[in-house]
Chains A and B, each alone.
Chain A
């Protein structure tokens, strides 16, 4: 039996009087890719932020069987739960190299593998190597996304929370990024929780997926099943 890397139970988040998450429950089995899909404002990013300790929440989240509800982000990074923020979640005022060096800032166990992981990152994203001493703010959108993912990988995640990796990118870059997510998962055994608006691509690579609709899970199933689901097709895949 697969153990669950992450179990979320009855997770609730309030922003002022607005309930952004109305008590959702789901799990991420070890070694799998699980997606949360849904429209803008459905609560996808909020879910990730609540898991990684970045917004106050109720409910229970456990990682490797231990509750992490009261832990701070930097402690979670230390345990291998690494959140790769959406879009421009890099530091534009630092160089590419400095951004990558921050990948181990909270993760002591990855320090001695820094050089090795840096090379792995360069193999995945050769373009970053060319731009190593450039300020990260001068990179293109796609390259910034690559940098964010490479930085997360340098911390040797056991669970990678990946927020909207395709946001605002050209279709070819999106394809490349998704291929790399699969590669990370298959070759490195990294468990991935992916949040995406690009439902089609996300479902294609996911073992399992949840559809989030205004703070509740409205549908769940295997990635391939949801791809064939009529409602999903109509609402999220733009097919009729």
Chain B
């Protein structure tokens, strides 16, 4: 039982990082019907922006909540800027082109960030310094609660609450959901579609940037290909929840995070990465719309 609780704690922390990334996938898919393959790489860029911010802007900062929040904000702002550049220069010119063109462009942007990242940051893994005072708290039994995990969970939760407010309570959120139903009608009734799409990229990229920093906190070794696997897994989480559905993305990510840690803990960590793909195949076979998705199957 204790072991189970320990795995659950680890799984929730991992799942909440996936959730932050999955939200970006699902929001962009909602407004553009585009699977933004570059999204996982924005996550990587966020991680590096965090790292360089610590190195050059606050080299002597003591690990503290305050430091962590500063790094988080820097990474979110930096990633948002990268997101804006990608949307404006890579995706917007293709708004009226066939969907396959923009999909291929997304793959191109992804490769550009991965290999451009190797050029700029170097190909070898770098150490992500502690930005939080880490404590291991023994909470009875053999259960160890890592304070970093707790922080990751809390920060993700706070960011998701802010997002949920934006999406469900503001005119921006209503416009975004309107566009996800019909871009044409949204345009017709006076929604500035390009502006809403741009804000969607800003928010999605900022969340990915935050996830990049939290990932660095949990697994302090980062490299320019970092975005590949977590990016794919977050995408699978979004599909599992029903792509385009915001609540679904969070649920899918938590399920994926939990099942990965259970599989690693009870079976073998060798199967950990394969699990996500097994889930993807099962979802596509059994319920292609995802857990909360109901819509028609989209051709890509």
Contacts and interface: CB of A to CB of B under 8 A. Distances in A.
A54 B181 contact: no
Interface stretch (B36-44, B50-58, B111-119, B188-196): B188-196
Contacts of A98: 174, 177
Interface in A83-113: 83, 85, 89-94, 98, 101-103, 105-107
B190 A106 contact: yes
A74 interface: yes
A106 B192 CA distance: 7
A52 interface: yes
Contact of B174 (A89, A94, A152): A94
B188 A83 contact: yes
B2 interface: no
Nearest to A53: B187
Interface residues of B, number: 18
A83 B181 contact: no
A102 B193 CA distance: 13
Contacts of B193: 74
Given A101-B174, A102-B174, A102-B175, A91 B190 contact: no
Given A101-B171, A102-B174, A73 B185 contact: no
Contacts of B184: 54
Contacts, number: 69
A101 B189 CA distance: 11
- Most A C-beta atoms less than 10 A away, residue of B185, B187, B188: B188
Contacts of B187: 54, 73-74
A43 interface: no
A83 B177 contact: no
A74 B191 contact: yes
A77 B178 contact: no
B33 interface: no
A85 B171 CA distance: 20
A161 B174 CA distance: 23
A52 B185 CA distance: 12
Interface in B154-212: 171, 174-175, 177-178, 180-182, 184-193
Top 6 nearest A-B pairs (CB, nearest first) are A106-B190, A77-B190, A74-B192, A91-B178, A74-B190, A91-B181
Given A105-B175, A106-B190, 19 more contacts: A54-B184, A54-B187, A54-B188, A73-B190, A74-B193, A76-B190, A82-B189, A83-B188, A85-B188, A91-B178, A94-B177, A94-B178, A101-B171, A102-B178, A102-B190, A102-B191, A105-B171, A105-B174, A106-B189
